[in-house]
Chain A
Amino acid sequence: MRALPTAGALRQVTGGAAVRVSTGILLVITIAALVGPSLSSHDYFSMNLGERLEPPTLNDTRFFGTDDLGRDLFVRTMSGTRITLLVAIVASFVSLVLGVAYGAVAGYAGGKVDAFMMRIVDALYALPFIFLVILLMVAFERNFLLIFVAIGAINWLDMARIVRGQTLSLKEREFVAAARLIGVPPVVIVFRHIVPNLLGVVVVYITLTIPQAILVESFLSFLGLGIQEPRTSLGALVNGGISHMEGAPWVLLIPATLLAVILMSFNFLGDGLRDAVDPRLKAR
């Protein structure tokens, strides 16, 4: 009997249409972003003022047309996707490493250490982050790295809270008591016995933070504070497309649609994974 809910949940993931479709879409987009630009005869920065705002066509591999400086939109969209995905993944990785380590240590230590560490998190929560990021961008050179750091710094707070909560309940479990009785040092208990058992929750949460990171990056780029020319991201492309909304709608619509599809796919995937993990957590 006990095996049943898990089996059902696994079926839900592998068989869930939304999850399968979104995984497929993300794969296709990732591959296209990686190999797409090299298939085209154009590059992402060459301008050709004679071919401004060309509509999409199959001729000359201008699948998505050109922008207001005559740059090839297909290549620009693909390399923009590459950067958007990269920012999202690196930012999520930062939040993963920092958040899991911080949350697990705070939760396992408990008492005063926990209270102190979590008050730091609360204090950071209270900072208006977008405002801070904008300040950073203005004060320092507009740096590619800074975006990673800024977005990761927002996300790890949530991750730390979630991981701490899970750790609090895991550390009362008997396998942790058994490890203490053997004499396993606390740091080893955290990283050998507690963290691996958090992975289910963490994986789910990460798939849900990736779209969040993408949104923040796009938002910054849209404001003109993120990725700088000639490099581009989906947010920057949407920003560039706005001014030609009437004359050349494809310049806006193509990157905007792609952004929406990526966000939705990650959200569906995260929801599906969460549904799969939740009942198993309950059954335990």
Chain B
Amino acid sequence: MSLLDVNGLTISYAALPEPVVDRLDLSMERGEALGLVGESGAGKTQTALAIMGLLTPHATVQGQVLFDGFALAGQTAKVLNRFRARRLAMVFQDPKQALNPYLPIGEQLKRVLLEHRIVDRRAARGRALELLRRVRLPDAERQYRSYPHQLSGGMRQRAMIALALACEPELLIADEPTTALDVTVQAQVLKLLKELRAQTGIGLLLITHDLGVVAENCERMLVMHRGRLLEQGSTRTVFRNPQQQRTKEMLAAAARLDHRPPERPPVSALPVLLVDRISVRFREAPSGWKRQGSRGVVGNVSFSLAPGETLGIVGESGCGKTSLARALVGLVAADTGSVCLSAEPLAARVADRAPEERRDLQMVFQDPVASLSPAMKVGSIIAEPVALHEPGLRRDERNDRVASALGRAGLDPSLLQRFPHELSGGQAQRVAISRALVLQPKVLICDEAVAALDGTVRRAILDLLAAEQRRSGLSLVFITHDLAVVRQISHRVLVMYMGGIAELADNENLFARPRHPYTRALLDAVPQADPERVPPALPIEGEVSTEGRPSGCPFHPRCAYAVARCREEVPALRQVDGVEVACHRAEELDLR
């Protein structure tokens, strides 16, 4: 008998015209790792919630969910609680919301253990600590007493896994367990899940939109699209020989690091954007007896951008890449350093810049829906910059501009009358791009502009930006945490670590021969959509320090190659074989 059997599962809501999950069949053997993939809205999470019996009462559920031969669907909470936690458990995408903010981690673990009578009161603490050590939480004794907000995202997800494993369930459902995490931390958490599976023989239903994660972690996979099962089979077979057109498209759009880098434009003498030793500090609010202090988030970053060039900026969250972007456009004022646009120095704040300077330097934000005013129609959103910068235009001329910008972004003119909430994520981002490009800027800064989008949509947006660049010679600064995106579109790449430049190299060089150990670690951590590839052992230990800057090289506590000098002396950014790198050992190390 299989461990989990789902037959004809249909989930519908009265408010929606179509069921969110439509006649889904799924079956899992004991100890198997099954990947459930699909784009957002495919019904993956709904399926998981239905199996756990966690759907809202509004949902109508039809079909069968058999766990070890026992029908779960339609049972009362009392019956389900004999299964939940004890035999099947779930890990959610956002551990911050899944953990109780008012209880220390250890207390939460103890409660689960006592509730299910796994151990008695005296043994609970010991068992909870053992679980925390098992998920490799560093300094388990301390984390036992810590509250969720005191832990980093990666540590919270480890704690969440410890909670799920507390009663030694037979099946673990992990819903996008690493989507909210940095790529390096993601690699650590996935490795942990792999090890736990090897130790305990627990079955894993891994829900993700990331084909790379499935390729590296699951033997079998199941592809969903709009609530329906598209295809299933062994991971290797599906990747090698996809049957459905939609699967083929998803695979084609999947993150890969072996794309050919784009052709570099002829380098002209005059850079369009010149950034010279820019630093951003955030003032911290004075609290209690503490005097008002400040914290450096970007330190001494310099780079130049040629016309028609794309510079990718990558780094883990908190490395200062968004602050850098906001300082470039003047949303936050840089404390020191200068930004020159076409050799003209810019004022620190956007309000003090000349209208043409504002026009020439535009930005696209991460969350497409949040970057459009909810109360304005698409037409007025795109028309606003035109009306402001060219007040002399007649109404029909302005409408022509808006329509042509919309057309270049690949959108239908019928969308002009829509409100932002009536658009899909991809459409909303195209509208945001149209608004930024309607003034024909020289430089466009994209801050995680495709991070919130599904694979195929992401690819279409990147193609759109590349086409616009070819057409108008636009320069792009593309900020992202996703190395596959950088590989696909940038000519040069800037790697940031704790506010500073770790490495600045052209695309080909960076991926073929990284000079900084941090770059190597980032590259190794990216899960690749290739089940044949043997993933590197463990790319990188630890997480970005939250307790102030380490002495010497900021990366040395996590660096496998650190020597005494790295702990004492801050490495300067210097040229090594045409690459700018901040590492003492850049010449001697071979990180290929």
Ranked nearest first, the 7 interchain pairs of A and B with the lowest CB-CB distance are A196-B375, A7-B15, A174-B371, A174-B365, A182-B385, A175-B373, A183-B358
Total contacting residues, chain B, CB less than 8 A: 38
Nearest-CB residue, chain B, relative to A193: B373
A197 touches B375 (CB 8 A): yes
- Known A182-B358, A199-B375: A11·B432 in contact at CB below 8 Å: no
B359: chain A residues at CB < 8 Å are: 183
Given contacts A8-B15, A174-B367, whether A181 and B362 have CB atoms under 8 Å apart is yes
Does B370 lie within 8 Å of A175, measured CB to CB? Answer: yes
Could you list 5 further interchain pairs (A-B, Cβ under 8 angstroms) beyond the known A175-B371, A178-B365?
A: A3-B15, A4-B15, A7-B16, A180-B351, A182-B384
In the bound complex, CA of A181 to CA of B330 (Å): 8
Per-position binary interface string of chain B over residues 382-417, scored 1 when its CB falls under 8 Å from any chain A CB and 0 otherwise: 001100110000000000000000000000000000
For A, the interface residue count at a CB cutoff of 8 angstroms equals 24
Give the residue of A180, A184, A284 whose beta carbon is less than 8 angstroms from that of B384.
A184
- Are A173 and B15 in touch, CB under 8 angstroms? no
Q: Are B375 and A284 in touch, CB under 8 angstroms?
A: no
Q: Within 8 Å of chain B (Cβ to Cβ): is A58?
A: no
B331, A181: Cβ atoms closer than 8 Å: yes
Q: State which of A173, A179, A199 has its C-beta within 8 Å of the C-beta of B370.
A: A173
The answer to whether the Cβ of B329 comes within 8 Å of any Cβ in the partner chain is yes
- Interface membership of A115, Cβ < 8 A: no
User: In angstroms, how far is the closest chain A Cβ from the Cβ of B292?
Assistant: 15
Measured between alpha carbons, how far is A197 from B355 in the docked complex, in Å? 26
Q: How far is the CB of B183 from chain A (nearest CB, A)?
A: 24
Nearest B residue to A194, CB-CB: B373
Given A183-B355, A184-B384: A197 and B374 interface contact (C-beta under 8 Å): yes
Interface residues of chain A, those whose CB is within 8 Å of chain B, are 1, 3-4, 7-8, 11, 173-175, 177-184, 186, 192-193, 196-197, 199, 284
Cβ contact within 8 Å between A11 and B363: no
24 pairs, CB–CB < 8 Å, chain A vs chain B: A1-B20, A1-B46, A4-B13, A7-B13, A8-B15, A174-B367, A174-B371, A175-B372, A177-B371, A178-B363, A178-B372, A178-B432, A180-B331, A180-B351, A181-B331, A182-B385, A183-B389, A186-B351, A193-B373, A193-B376, A196-B373, A196-B375, A196-B376, A197-B373
- C-alpha spacing A193/B376, complex, angstroms: 8
Residue among A3, A4, A183, A186 with the highest chain B CB neighbour number at 10 A = A183
Chain B 120-169 interface residues, beta-carbon cutoff 8 Å to A: none
Q: In the complex, A179→B361 CA distance in Å?
A: 13
Closest Cβ neighbor of B435 among chain A residues? A178
Closest to B13 in A: A4
Residues of A close to B385: CB separation below 8 A: 182-183
In the complex the two chains form, what is the Cα distance from A181 to B436 in whole Å?
Answer: 9
CB nearest to A175 among chain B residues: B373
- Cβ of B519 < 8 Å from any Cβ of A? no
A6 to chain B, nearest CB (A): 9
Within 8 A of A (CB), among B301-325: none
A96 CB to nearest chain B CB (Å): 17
Q: In this assembly, does B260 line the interface, its C-beta being within 8 Å of a C-beta of chain A?
A: no
> A87–B388 Cα gap in the complex (Å)?
41
B45 within 8 A of A: yes
A182 near B58 (CB under 8 angstroms)?
no
Q: Which of B58, B330, B351 interacts with A4 by CB under 8 Å?
A: B58
Query: What B residues does A4 contact at CB under 8 A?
Result: 13, 15-16, 56, 58
A3-B374 in contact given A180-B331, A181-B363 (Cβ < 8 Å): no
